[in-house]
């Protein structure tokens, strides 16, 4: 095959499909427009455009937990945006994620600003110990299939080690909202927000069906949506107002990619509770319920905290994607840390998802 006749985009798409990648999220880049166009039209893939690359990584994490092989397509200028998601989500939970990254800023680049991130792209990936493969010539893209195979295989055949409970959790008082919903959410897949919400849920009702976020503030809703789109069981993402504000792009993504097995429960205490109750804008002029509606979410319910369990039960019974904003007071109580290894959390959750989906 000559260099000219080699179709890079088609080769990449076939390598992805050939490795059973089914869930792809993208933030566009001109250089990868051909691949993105093919992915979008190809029924072998679920294509979910995301608003920001770290949001996309949350979606991919959810898809992997849901049993699907994910991939993200993005531009190298976004590497900086994704460092936290890479370190505290993708790497921390050992989630296999191929990133197809366009390399803007190389020799011949017409947009001078692109050169700046090109200078740092490889150094940042190297600092994170992420193996990189640089396709210099069009035909090099033909190597993609062979690169993907071991990436997925290694993670899918690994099992979480038993008994790796690293730290003992100290039982302390819990938030009333988490306490009241624990019996309702026990039978469903739950993705729980970073900080105190996860610690409280772990302390009171640890289940293999709970995915506790230990980092990556803002991505509970993205992980939850990716998971819901990837399998059939019902998914409840428990988020916080501060975290939703940090990833506000999640609401249009949710609205435009509805999954009737998905409930986003925002426990809105009007503050960044886990860091000492600093006020958020949601506790002031900004109504997250109205923002969700304006973004196109169709079933948005705001309720007082004491009605959360009942509203959640009704939403589960309705089989419709629902956003619930539970308004509660700020205030924290001491609670122990989560004594589980992140890889244990991810793998036992993934196995539970697979068990439920038969
Ligand atoms: C990117 C990033 N920024 C800031 C933090 C620190 N942080 C951890 S939890 C948290 C507050 C989360 O607030 P919210 O989502 O409202 O949940 P709450 O704790 O109030 O239930 C903050 C600011 C972080 N972990 N990551």
Average pLDDT, the chain: 91
| Domain assignment present for 53 | yes
CATH number, domain with residue 263: 3.40.50.970
Ligand 1 atom at shortest distance from the alpha carbon of 241 = 16
Residue ranges making up the domain that contains 43: 8-156
**Full-model pTM:** 0.85
Give the E-state strand segments of 118-209 in sequence order: 189-192
Are 134 and 183 contained in the same domain? Answer: no
Is pLDDT above 50 for 1? no
Residue nearest (by alpha carbon) to ligand 1 atom 2? 217
The pLDDT tens digits of the residues spanning 20-65 come to: 999 999 999 889 999 999 999 999 999 999 999 999 999 999 999 9
Are 113 and 185 contained in the same domain? Answer: no
Q: Please indicate whether residue 198, judged by its CB atom, sits closer than 6 Å to ligand 1.
A: no
Ligand 1 atom at shortest distance from the alpha carbon of 197 = 21
Residue nearest (by alpha carbon) to ligand 1 atom 25? 217
Are 202 and 344 contained in the same domain? Answer: yes
Q: Are 266 and 222 in contact (CB under 8 A)?
A: no
Ligand 1 atom at shortest distance from the alpha carbon of 196 = 19
Are 343 and 196 contained in the same domain? Answer: yes
Please identify, among 156, 185, 214, the residue that sits at the C-terminal boundary of a domain. Answer: 156
Are 331 and 291 contained in the same domain? Answer: yes
Burial 160-172 (b: 16+ CB within 10 A, else e): beeeeeeeebeee
Tell me, in angstroms, the distance from the centre of ligand 1 to residue 244's CA.
Answer: 10
Are 143 and 201 contained in the same domain? Answer: no
pLDDT of residue 175: 78
| Domain assignment present for 327 | yes
Q: Please indicate whether residue 84, judged by its CB atom, sits closer than 6 Å to ligand 1.
A: yes
pLDDT of residue 158: 55
Please identify, among 156, 185, 210, the residue that sits at the C-terminal boundary of a domain. Answer: 156
Is pLDDT above 90 for 331? no
What does DSSP assign to residue 340?
Answer: B
Distance CA 287, CA 69 (A): 36
142 band by pLDDT with thresholds 50, 70 and 90: very high
The number of folded domains in the chain is 2
| Domain assignment present for 225 | yes
The pLDDT tens digits of the residues spanning 88-128 come to: 999 999 999 999 999 988 888 888 888 888 889 999 999 99
Please identify, among 93, 121, 156, the residue that sits at the C-terminal boundary of a domain. Answer: 156
Are 188 and 278 contained in the same domain? Answer: yes
| Domain assignment present for 227 | yes
Are 257 and 295 contained in the same domain? Answer: yes
Q: Please indicate whether residue 31, judged by its CB atom, sits closer than 6 Å to ligand 1.
A: no
User: Given ligand 1 and candidates 275, 277, 326, which is best to mutate, with the most ligand atoms within 8 Å of its CB?
Assistant: 275
Are 185 and 140 contained in the same domain? Answer: no
| Domain assignment present for 249 | yes
Are 95 and 139 contained in the same domain? Answer: yes
| Domain assignment present for 1 | no
Tell me, in angstroms, the distance from the centre of ligand 1 to residue 161's CA.
Answer: 29
Are 185 and 131 contained in the same domain? Answer: no
174 band by pLDDT with thresholds 50, 70 and 90: very low
The pLDDT tens digits of the residues spanning 31-43 come to: 999 999 999 999 9
Q: Which of 160-164, 199-203, 305-309, 348-352 has the lowest mean pLDDT?
A: 160-164
pLDDT of residue 166: 32
| Domain assignment present for 185 | yes
Are 148 and 181 contained in the same domain? Answer: no
| Domain assignment present for 163 | no
* Lateral strand order in the sheet of 322-327: 210-212, 189-192, 235-240, 262-268, 322-327, 300-304
pLDDT of residue 160: 52
- In the three-class reduction of DSSP (H, G, I as helix; E, B as strand; rest coil), residue 236 is classed as strand
Residues for the chain: how many in total? 358
């Amino acid at each position: 095959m000559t260099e000219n006749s080699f179709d890079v985009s088609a080769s990449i798409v076939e390598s992805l499909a050939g490795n059973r990648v089914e869930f792809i999220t993208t933030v566009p880049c001109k250089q990868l427009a051909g691949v993105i166009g093919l992915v979008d039209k190809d029924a072998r893939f679920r294509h979910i455009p995301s608003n920001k690359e770290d949001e996309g990584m949350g979606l991919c994490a959810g898809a992997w937990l849901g049993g699907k092989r994910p991939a993200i397509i993005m531009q190298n200028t976004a590497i900086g945006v994704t460092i936290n998601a890479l370190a505290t989500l993708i790497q921390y939970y050992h989630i296999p994620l191929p990133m197809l990254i366009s390399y803007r800023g190389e020799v011949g680049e017409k947009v001078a600003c692109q050169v700046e991130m090109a200078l740092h792209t490889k150094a940042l990936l190297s600092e994170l110990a992420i193996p990189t493969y640089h396709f210099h010539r069009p035909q090099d893209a033909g190597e993609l299939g062979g690169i993907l195979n071991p990436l997925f295989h290694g993670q899918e055949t690994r099992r979480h080690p038993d008994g790796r409970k690293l730290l003992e959790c100290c039982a302390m008082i819990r938030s009333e909202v988490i306490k009241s919903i624990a019996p309702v959410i026990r039978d469903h897949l739950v993705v729980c927000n970073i900080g105190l919400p996860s610690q409280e849920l772990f302390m009171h009702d640890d289940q293999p069906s709970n995915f506790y976020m230990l980092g990556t503030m803002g991505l509970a809703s993205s992980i939850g949506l990716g998971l819901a789109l990837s399998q059939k069981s019902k998914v409840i993402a428990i988020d916080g107002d501060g975290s939703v504000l940090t990833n506000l792009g999640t609401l249009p993504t949710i609205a435009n990619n509805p999954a009737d097995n998905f409930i986003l429960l925002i426990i809105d205490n009007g503050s960044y509770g886990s860091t000492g109750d600093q006020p958020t804008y949601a506790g002031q002029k900004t109504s997250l319920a109205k923002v969700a509606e304006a973004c196109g979410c169709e079933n948005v319910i705001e309720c007082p905290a004491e009605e959360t369990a009942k509203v959640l039960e009704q939403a589960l019974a309705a089989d419709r994607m629902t956003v619930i904003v539970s308004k509660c007071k700020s205030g924290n109580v001491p609670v122990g840390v989560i004594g589980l290894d992140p890889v244990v959390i991810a793998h036992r959750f993934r196995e539970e998802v697979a068990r439920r989906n038969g």
